[in-house]
Structure formats: structure tokens, C-alpha cells
Amino acid sequence: MLFSLFPFVSLSLFALAAQWSSGEPLVQMLWMASKVIFARGTTEPAPIGIVVGPPALKAALPGKTLSFAGVNYPTSIPGFLEGGDPQGSKTMATDAKIVAVGYSQCGQLVHNSAKQLSPAVSAHINAAVIFGDPDDGQAVAGISAANTKVICHKGDDICLHGDAILLPHLTYGEDAGTAAAFIAGKVQ
């Protein structure tokens, strides 16, 4: 049965080369009902940052088995300016329900990841949520608009394709509940 979970799908945020940084053994993560691969924002601490994260999603899905893993990549300003760190766009996943969540530069990783997917792999993504999306206005390739939620605050220069981190870009934690409810509706 374990081998039926392999081979892993290639999915930028879920591709073969990255390392898990959640601290959970990979085999344990393979058996989770829903796995959230979280790519934190530029300069946020590993593994999943502090502005947005798991608490709201756990609250929206009481009693559900969830596993959170951070993408192990350098959340650097040069990576943001490059359009998203190329190595951060590669990690791995299973046949679990897949949710891609990105904040800021990691929104770029969600977009970049989706462009690399085959339709068969894209079909495994139940939800994509992007906070403070530098690529706001662009569809997430291969993922239906109904399964995608982009949250951009008024006055967020990053969402306006700028590069200034202003106060509105640092307030997405207030939207964690909304995002969690959206994800919950897609993975239940």
C-alpha cells in the first residue's frame, strides 16, 4: 500500500528535490488526510512564518487530520525580485488532498509551480490561497478559479506589482480565518 503513494507528483511547491521542514517524518506525512505545504513570506522565519499559518485552518476543520509542512527555501529579497526563489518552487507530495498556500514571494511560487504542472497533477490541488500576491490579477495556471483565492489588501504595494513592504502587506493574519474557511470548503 505504501508504494501506491509513489511516485511523487512533480509540483514546484511539491516537487522531488526539496526538503520538509515541519519536523514530521515524511512517512507519517504521507498518511495524513490533508496536507498543507506552506511557503512563508520574504524574510519570515522557518518553517511556516508568523503572519499567516495553521491555527485558523485547524479551527475551521475541527477533528480533521491535518499536516503542515514549510517549504525549505531562502525567503530572500533577491528571490522575490527574481519572481520567486527557483529552488523554493520544488518539493514533493502524495495523493493526499493538496492545498497550496503562499504569502508574498511565496505567492509567486504558487504561480510558478502551477505553470509546471500537467493537467493530471493540477487535478490533485483542491485549493490554492495566496496572501499579498505579487502576481495579483494573473490566474494560477491549471487550477480553476473556483479553487483559488487571492487576498490582497487595499494599499498593498506588492499586490500592485511594486516592491515596497507597506503596513497593508503585513496585516494578512486578519484574513487567516477567511482563507481557512475557503480551504475547509474545498478539502472536506
Of the two residues 53 and 13, the one the predictor is more confident about is: 53
19 confidence band (pLDDT: 50, 70, 90): very low
Q: For residue 181, is pLDDT > 90?
A: yes
Superfamily of segment(s) 7-187: Alpha/Beta hydrolase fold, catalytic domain (3.40.50.1820)
Q: Is 161 a catalytic residue?
A: no
Can you give the pLDDT at residue 37?
76
Q: Where are the domains of the chain?
A: 7-187
Instruction: Check 22, 122, 133, 169 and give the catalytic one.
Output: 169
pLDDT per residue over 139-172, tens digit each? 999 999 999 999 999 999 999 999 999 999 999 9
- Cell (9 digits) for 139: 490566474
Give the neighbor-by-neighbor strand order of the sheet with 125-131. 66-70, 34-39, 97-103, 125-131, 148-151
Q: Out of 104, 133, 153, 175, which one is annotated catalytic? A: 104
Q: Cell match 511547491: residue?
A: 13
Q: Cα dist. 103→26, 120, 146, 155, 163 in Å?
A: 24, 25, 19, 16, 14
Residue 104 bears catalytic tag: yes
The percentage of the chain sitting over the pLDDT mark of 90, rounded to a whole number, equals 39
Q: Quick check: 95 pLDDT over 60? A: no
- What residue type is 164 in one-letter code? A
| Whether residue 156 lies in the annotated active site | yes
Tell whether the model's pLDDT for residue 97 goes beyond 90: no
pLDDT at 187 exceeding the cut of 80:
yes
pLDDT over threshold 80, residue 1: no
pLDDT band at 84 (very low <50, low <70, confident <90, very high): low
- Least confident stretch, 3-7, 69-73, 97-101, 165-169: 3-7
Give Cα separations from 37 to 81, 137, 155, 164 (angstroms): 22, 23, 28, 26
